[in-house]
Copies of this chain bind each other. A is one copy, B any other.
Amino acid sequence: MNSSPAPGANLAALRDHNTALVLGLLRDAGPAGASRAELADRTGLTPQAVSKITGRLRVAGLAAEAGRRASTGGKPATALRLMPEAAHAIGVHLDRDALTVTLVDLSGAEVVTRTSPLDLGAGAETVLAAVTAEAARVRAEAGGSLLGAGVALPGPLDHRTGVLHRVTGFPRWDGFPLRDALAERLGLPVVVDKDTNAAALGLVLRGCAGPAGSFAYLHLGTGLGAGLVLGGAVHRGARTGAGEFGHQVLRLDGPLCPCGDRGCIEVLCLDAVARGDVAEAARLLGTGAANLVRLLDIDLVLLGGGTLLKDAATYAAGVRDVLGAAAPVAVTPAGDRTVVEGAAELVLASLFGRDRLSGLPKAGLTHSP
């Protein structure tokens, strides 16, 4: 999913790539930081190159020295760490009945979060006004260093243009240019993506996939969807349509699904949930997950979503039963913040070289005069 118009790379692209890489490693290292030598080792760059890059980052205020490490027989290493407060991002989660807005710093840590009820079907004007108002409240904490806002909501939609399609249950949104409309209101760059994709991205930045690793995030809420991380990056497909896990046919010629097909996993699973048969719902989820693991050779299955989190342990156990040794199963470590946190990461990801396609114009924080 490269931006195909200009796949050629010049020196500036090379510098940005390496800078993002280092910045990403610094973020992963956390408050303890990492030494220049460690960074050089992990990137494959020479120590001198790392020195130059970290020097630029320090001038830009994105990194700072953070004490000494114990010596291993020579000069002790100087730890470098990310300055989390150097920049912030807003995350917006538009759910069917609620609005959550969060402000996070560069490290992805929560600064403040506000949740309010919302009718996603109330019309564009009402929804936009609510988002704008909540964002303004949250924004005060950022102190001007705001990179942009990421918005996560149910699909289908087009994450490249930020235009919504027939959002499930709310067809009136079809064709609405959410990204541009919100960018104008907020005066900020805005990135829009499906809720499951945002969640997956957030989990990537939490380190749930190793470098070039993979996992599937299965989200069971009012519907059933998935976010796929392949080769370290979120797989969205050309039309942001990837992750339509709910309409995988699992029982040929089974019960009719609202989507028109028969035997979709969503209709089977939601039926089981409605009957209160959590074990069967988990078994269905597990069977679908096993299909994913086999098809995509995935390292890990992560579970989340409102319905599932109400009985997370039972679901996890049921899915684990079906998957066996095929892949480990875990519940999302971000809990009910999974989506909104990921929404904020939509903005930050490009800084850390974790996007391979973000709607944001390459944020050039280190462009020296």
Let me know if A44 and B5 touch, CB within 8 A.
yes
Which stretch in A72-80, A234-242, A337-345 binds the other chain? A234-242
- State the CA gap A45–B212 with chains docked (Å): 28
Q: How far is the CA of A296 from the CA of B298 in the complex (A)?
A: 14
Q: Is A320 an interface residue, CB under 8 A from the partner?
A: no
Secondary structure type dominating chain A contacts: loop
A295 x B243 contact (CB < 8 A):
yes
| A304 cross-chain contacts in B, Cβ below 8 A | none
A212-B2, A250-B249 given; A235·B242 CB < 8 A: no
Check if B230 sits within 8 Å of A230, measured CB to CB. yes
Q: Mark A208-222, 1 if CB is under 8 A from B, else 0.
A: 001111100000000
Chain B residues, CB < 8 A from A325: none
Return the contact of A43 from the options B8, B247, B292, B297 (Cβ within 8 A). Answer: B8
CB of A314 within 8 Å of the partner chain: no
CA distance A243 to B230 in the complex (A): 13
> Which residues A16-53 have CB closer than 8 A to chain B?
17-18, 21, 43-45, 49
Which of A8, A9, A298 has the most chain B CB within a 10 Å cutoff?
A8
Question: Considering the chains assembled together, what is the distance between the CA atoms of A47 and B247 in angstroms?
Answer: 48
Task: Specify which of A7, A17, A44, A298 lies most central, judged by the most chain B CB atoms within 10 Å of its CB.
Answer: A7
